[in-house]
Structure formats: C-alpha cells, structure tokens
C-alpha cells in the first residue's frame, strides 16, 4: 500500500513536461514501449487522494519520513534527476510524506544504492539488446538482488518463474504473453514506479554524413563520413 501510495502521489505527466521538456512519454512499464510484450498502463496514474487513503490504511495517516536519492549526473533516460527529485518531493509533501533528497558522486551513488542504503532512489537505463528480459532481469530479478543490479531489493518467486519461462520460449506471441504476466505482477506489487521513456537527441553538424542514432545507446561510426 505504501509503495502504491508513493507512486500514485507522483504527477508523472508534469515531470515529462518540466524535466523532459515534452521530449518523452509517461512510462507504462520499465519495458520500453517498442519492445515485445510491453504494457502501457503501470496502474499508478496520478491520484493524491487515493495515495492519502492508502497511507492511512497502512498506518501512516500522521505522516511518513523517507529519503529520496537523486543521481548527480544527467543521463539519456533522465536529463535532470535533481529537478525530478524536487518535483517528487513536492508531490509527496502534498500527501503527508516528508522526504529528504540525498545525492553522492556518481560512482559512490551506484555503490551505495547497490548496497541498499536508500529508502527510495532515482535510476534508469537504456536497453542493451532490445529484448524485454534485458531490463526486467537486470533491474528486478532475484539474482540481481545478490549482484547489486536490483537496487529495489525486491524478489518475487512468481515473477522470477515468468522470467525463466520467457528466456526459453521461442514463439514471440508466447513470450509477449509471459512478459505481460510479469508486468502485471509489477503493477500489483509496485517495486518500482516507472516515470518516463525519453526521446534521445544528438546534435550533428551538417557536414556529417550517414550518422544513425543507435537504439541501444552506443555510437557506431562505421558508415559515417564527412562532406568535403
């Protein structure tokens, strides 16, 4: 109830407009919308009254104090984590949740969040291979808790079973259905609150030819040339 309340208290549409300057979309899942089996509804639409009700049911009617960790760097998936954290902090304050924004040097931030020192934190990623298992397993698998990539430290056996099934299934329709079920568990349990999928832009001189933006965040100059 507390996780759902925290998620529902966040005005994600406002964040997309302010932090991404409209160059993004409200996320329905940690799985990017172009990938197999991605869902469009995270079940956490902005609902401060609903958030207050859930907090009351969970015994936090008189307030809740937590830390909110914000990355110290700009990333392709989050251009301004400090601003995002400030907006979330303000949203939470409206429902009686008092949060302290915490940050560290980037390497220290990653080390400490991997160790689970935070209450809540901002982080994201870009898919390495375009497969839904990539983000789901890295961010939320039980093995990821041990390895440090699952910084939410949430481990669910039913979710893990679906990840295993999805890796070995060959039929795309079957895989899509499996990952749909996995995301339904995320919708119910809310270990993460997906905020936004960014639209990445790279400035290029007119003299640069044949440059193609890589969907996996890499830089491929194999076909690049310069106009004379």
pLDDT of 185:
98
Q: What is the pLDDT of residues 174-183, one digit of tens each?
A: 999 999 999 9
Closest CA to 216 of 132, 143, 152, 128: 128
Q: What is the pLDDT of residues 53-63, one digit of tens each?
A: 999 999 998 88
Q: What is the pLDDT of residues 1-18, one digit of tens each?
A: 999 999 999 999 999 999
Q: Sorting pLDDT into bands at 50, 70 and 90, what band is 93?
A: very high
Helices (H), 59-193: 81-94, 106-114, 132-140, 142-147, 157-168, 172-189
Q: What is the pLDDT of residues 99-149, one digit of tens each?
A: 999 999 999 999 999 999 999 999 999 888 889 999 999 999 999 999 999
Neighbouring-strand partners of residue 98:
65
pLDDT of 208:
94
């Amino acid at each position: 109830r507390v996780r759902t309340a925290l998620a529902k208290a966040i005005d994600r549409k406002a964040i997309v407009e302010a932090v991404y300057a409209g160059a993004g979309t409200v996320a329905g899942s940690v799985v990017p919308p172009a990938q197999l089996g991605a869902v469009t509804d995270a079940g956490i639409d902005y609902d401060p009254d609903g958030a207050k009700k859930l907090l009351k049911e969970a015994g936090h009617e008189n307030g809740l104090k937590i830390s909110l960790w914000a990355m110290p760097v700009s990333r392709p998936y989050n251009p301004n984590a400090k601003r995002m954290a400030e907006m979330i902090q303000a949203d939470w304050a409206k429902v009686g949740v008092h949060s302290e924004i915490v940050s560290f040097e980037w390497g220290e931030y990653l080390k400490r969040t991997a160790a689970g020192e935070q209450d809540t934190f901002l982080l994201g990623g870009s898919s390495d291979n375009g497969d839904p298992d990539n983000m789901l397993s890295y961010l939320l698998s039980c093995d990821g808790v041990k390895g440090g990539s699952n910084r939410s430290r949430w481990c669910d056996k039913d979710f893990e079973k679906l990840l295993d099934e999805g890796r070995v299934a060959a039929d795309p329709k079957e895989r899509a259905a499996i990952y749909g079920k996995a995301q339904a568990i995320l919708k119910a349990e809310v270990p993460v609150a997906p905020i936004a999928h960014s639209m990445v832009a790279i400035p290029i001189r007119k003299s640069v030819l044949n440059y193609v933006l890589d969907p996996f965040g890499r830089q491929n100059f194999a076909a690049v040339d310069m106009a004379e």
